[in-house]
Amino acid sequence: MELVQNFPFLTIVLSLTCGVFCAVLKAKGARRLCLIWLTAAFVMSLLTLLYTLRTGDYYVYMMGKWSAPWGNEIRVGILEALLATVFSGVMILSLLGGMEHIFQDCPSQKINLYFTMASLLMSSLFALIYTNDLFTAYVFVEINTIASCALVMLKYSGKTLVATTRYLVMSLLGSGLFLLGIVTLYSITGQLLMEPIAAEVQRIWAEGTYSLPLTVIIGLFSVGLAVKSALFPFHSWLPEAHGSATSSSSAILSGLVLKGYIIVLIKIFYRIFGLQIIMTEKVSNFLFVFGIVAMIFGSLGALRQKDVKRLLAYSSVAQVGYIYVGIGLNSRAGMLAAIVQIVAHAITKPMLFISAGGFMEVSGGSKAMPDITGAGKRDPLGGIAFSVGALSTVGIPFFAGFIMKLQLTSAAVESSTPRMVIALIAIALSTLLNALYYIPTLYNIFTNRQDDKFQDVKAHYRWEYVLAVVTFIALNLSFGSFSQHVVGAINDGLAMFGM
Amino acid sequence: MIAEIVQHLLTNYYETTAMVLFGIGFTSLLMHRNIIKKIIGFNLMDSAIYLFLASQGYIQGRLAPVVTSGTDASLYVNPIPTGLVLTGIVVSVSVTAFLLALTCRLYDRYHTLDIDEITNIARKEQD
């Protein structure tokens, strides 16, 4: 075994350890430790990615060398390593970009806990990406829930407290259903690792016994994880939680946390049940329909917002809809589009939230639309980043969002006729709506103010903010221009996924 | 048909009870306005799942899998469901602690436990 093969396991465990140490350090020390560790985790994930690209095959890492039915496993392929690299990179940039606000918004004696929670969150995201064991997935889903709620709550205000409570209650409902799904599946298959379950499920399916329980289980998993990833009818908690948190938290929650659950759902669908069963059970139809509705209604919700962060949060609801439409197309091309959207949204939405944080700073801390008028002129770098993010989400060529829409459209064209028509209309409509709320916002942040409020305010650029924003812009443009490599890697990764 | 279903439900009475409890817990977590009742609902929901798991792992007459010399291995029950229950309990204890801490903060600030009332007050106040 090569040294590189240990890295995925180390990133999970050492992130947990880093969180523990951050809890006993002072704010500055915790910040330093957390950033150093996250950079190390990013490098390790990158090395893992290069290793899997070189070998062109996945490998299974057994904990304590116990083999399949007894031990716990993580499974590392190109897709997993790629997602881990992107997620850890985005995590670092989101923390850097909102660093000043973390120190302003959190009570001073509790800032170190922010980094504790960020490390725990990173650890759970790594685990959700890599794990091969359903119960481990459940435990890390709960760690993810607690850590992300704490990230919202650490900005101490009435709004965040209420938002956290609603977020936590909805998340717990979701994880209750998810746990019930795991337990029921365990009771009919007797396995917890994905490959043995998949074998058992295929056997049960072929025999035709337990077909009702299987339907119920798929339903439990889908509803549970859809609640947690804010698919349309269950999205009510999201705008409040993502809109009221400090800018780093909003960036991390929108960009990464939602995706963690979707990745688990994708793994359950395609590694345990397989396309055939999912198609016969018609679950993908439900996800497809709700995804379409989310694309439209998320954008309509965003149109009504008078507050830039809530606008971005509603836009996330619509973007999650795109992922579910990709999954719901129930084809390999659809999955490819869904994963491309996971990556594209993970690098776009945090940039928008970070630049919105920059606007708030030059607008007296307000995020209301009238107050941020002209903010793009007072904070030119944030203005450019917001424009790039907005244009990318609308789907202008050479930006990341365009690649996603291209993939999704071509996947839709390949699918059966009714789906193709619905998906194409929805994509067109949603693009139009995206433009309808992003273009006025862009216009707003670049117009001159009528009054002389905030006239003398100039952005003080700190290196963290500049580094984060410039890297985000570069990432978005390079993903948009050189997408064939990333899409190719995702395609190879999906092949390893057994699709 | 119906008699058959009732017969099945009665045979697997542990599982039936667990599902009924899960339903009660789920609805209270979703519907109740009082946060403490929500927390009780959450605990009920999770305990129902542990009851379900534990009943899966229980076989009458079999032994706990503690290795002693001279015991026939076929007499042991599968230890995994019990292990899962323990792990699950740890998770729900920490979530309950988090929820209770959150409730303390909410009560300190708003002097009520009614989530609708708190939401109304919070909507009116400035950031």
Complex ipTM:
0.93
Specify if A496 maps to a domain.
yes
Q: Is A416 within 8 Å of A499 (Cβ atoms)?
A: no
Q: Which residues of A13-52 are buried (b: 16+ CB within 10 A; e: fewer)?
A: ebbbebbebbeebebeebbebbbebbebbbebbbebbebb
CA-based angle A353:A336:A486, to the nearest 5?
A: 70
Of A494, A129, A130, A486, the residue nearest A331 (C-alpha): A494
pLDDT tens track, chain A, 499 positions: 788 888 999 999 999 999 999 999 998 999 999 999 999 999 999 999 999 999 888 888 888 777 777 778 888 999 999 999 999 999 999 999 988 888 888 888 889 999 999 999 999 999 999 998 999 999 999 999 999 999 998 888 888 889 999 999 999 999 999 999 999 999 888 888 888 898 889 998 888 888 888 899 999 999 999 999 988 888 888 988 888 889 999 999 999 999 999 999 999 988 888 888 888 888 888 889 999 999 999 999 998 888 889 999 999 999 999 999 999 888 888 889 999 999 999 999 999 999 999 888 888 878 888 888 888 888 889 999 999 999 999 988 888 889 889 899 898 888 877 888 888 999 999 999 999 989 989 998 888 877 777 777 777 888 889 999 999 999 999 988 888 888 888 888 888 876 5
Distance of alpha carbon A377 from the chain centroid: 30
Specify if A382 maps to a domain.
yes
Q: Does A149 touch chain B (CB under 8 A)?
A: yes
Specify if A293 maps to a domain.
yes
> pLDDT at position B127, please?
53
The position carrying tokens 């190390």 is A40
- Bridge partners for A307 per DSSP: A368
Query: What is the chain A residue with the closest CA to B106?
Result: A161
The position carrying tokens 């609801």 is A317
Q: Is A393 within 8 Å of A254 (Cβ atoms)?
A: no
Specify if A253 maps to a domain.
no
Residue A150, amino acid: A
Determine the Cα–Cα distance for residues A355 and A381; give it in Å rounded to an integer: 8
State whether B46 and A176 contact (CB < 8 Å). Answer: yes
Q: Does B53 touch chain A (CB under 8 A)?
A: yes
State whether B22 and A159 contact (CB < 8 Å). Answer: no
State whether B106 and A145 contact (CB < 8 Å). Answer: no
**Residues near A243 by Cβ (< 8 Å), separated by ≥ 6?**
A163, A250, A307, A309, A310, A312, A313, A367
Taking the alpha carbons of B11, B17, B18, B23 in that order, is the dihedral positive or negative? positive
- Spell out which residues of chain A touch residue B109, defining contact as CB-CB under 8 Å: 158, 161
> pLDDT at position A95, please?
93
Residue B53 token pair: 């798991």
Specify if A192 maps to a domain.
no
- Bridge partners for A368 per DSSP: A307
Determine the Cα–Cα distance for residues A475 and B86; give it in Å rounded to an integer: 44
Residue A313 token pair: 């949060």
Tell me how close the Cα of A97 comes to any Cα of chain B, in angstroms.
22
Tell me how close the Cα of B45 comes to any Cα of chain A, in angstroms.
7
**Residues near B1 by Cβ (< 8 Å), separated by ≥ 6?**
none
Q: Is A415 within 8 Å of A423 (Cβ atoms)?
A: yes
Closest partner residue to B49 among A172, A173, A179, by Cβ?
A179
- How would you class B91 by CB atoms within 10 Å of its CB: exposed for 0-12, middle for 13-18, buried for 19 or more? buried
Taking the alpha carbons of A312, A316, A321, A323 in that order, is the dihedral positive or negative? positive
Instruction: State the residue range of the domain holding A403.
Output: 282-499
Q: Is A342 within 8 Å of A262 (Cβ atoms)?
A: yes
User: Residue B67 pLDDT > 90, yes or no?
Assistant: no
Specify if A493 maps to a domain.
yes
State whether B22 and A180 contact (CB < 8 Å). Answer: yes
Residue A200, classed as helix, strand or coil, is helix
Specify if A160 maps to a domain.
no
Residue A487, amino acid: V
Orientation angle between helical segments A463-481 and A400-414, nearest 10 degrees: 30
Q: What are phi and psi for residue B63, nearest 5 degrees?
A: -105, 160
> pLDDT at position A498, please?
67
State whether B52 and A168 contact (CB < 8 Å). Answer: no
State whether A164 and B102 contact (CB < 8 Å). Answer: yes
Rounded to whole angstroms, the maximal C-alpha distance in chain B is 72
> pLDDT at position A492, please?
87
State whether B102 and A161 contact (CB < 8 Å). Answer: yes
- Spell out which residues of chain A touch residue B95, defining contact as CB-CB under 8 Å: 142, 145-146, 172
Residue A431, amino acid: T
The position carrying tokens 């009560």 is B107
Cβ–Cβ pairs < 8 A, chains A and B: 86
Specify if A193 maps to a domain.
no
Distance of alpha carbon B115 from the chain centroid: 22
Q: Where are the alpha helices (DSSP H) in A379-482?
A: 380-394, 400-414, 417-446, 463-481
Q: Given its phi and psi angles, is residue A44 left (phi above 0), alpha (psi -120 to 50 degrees) or beta?
A: alpha
Q: Tell me how many domains chain A contains.
A: 1
Q: What is the mean pLDDT of chain B?
A: 88
pLDDT, greater one: B18 or A158: B18
Query: What is the chain B residue with the closest CA to A141?
Result: B91
Determine the Cα–Cα distance for residues B110 and B117; give it in Å rounded to an integer: 9
Closest partner residue to B95 among A142, A180, A184, by Cβ?
A142
State whether A161 and B106 contact (CB < 8 Å). Answer: yes
> pLDDT at position B126, please?
63
Determine the Cα–Cα distance for residues B121 and A374; give it in Å rounded to an integer: 32
How many Cβ atoms are within 10 Å of A151's Cβ, its own excluded?
A: 28
Q: Is A55 within 8 Å of A315 (Cβ atoms)?
A: no
Residue A86, amino acid: V
Domains along chain B?
Answer: 2-60+76-124 (1.10.287.3510)
Pairing outcome for strands A73-76 and A59-62:
antiparallel
Q: Does B44 touch chain A (CB under 8 A)?
A: no
Q: Residues of B numbered 68-87 whose beta carbons fall under 8 angstroms of chain A's beta carbons: which are they?
A: 80-81, 84, 87
State whether A135 and B87 contact (CB < 8 Å). Answer: yes
> What is the arithmetic mean of pLDDT over B96-108?
92
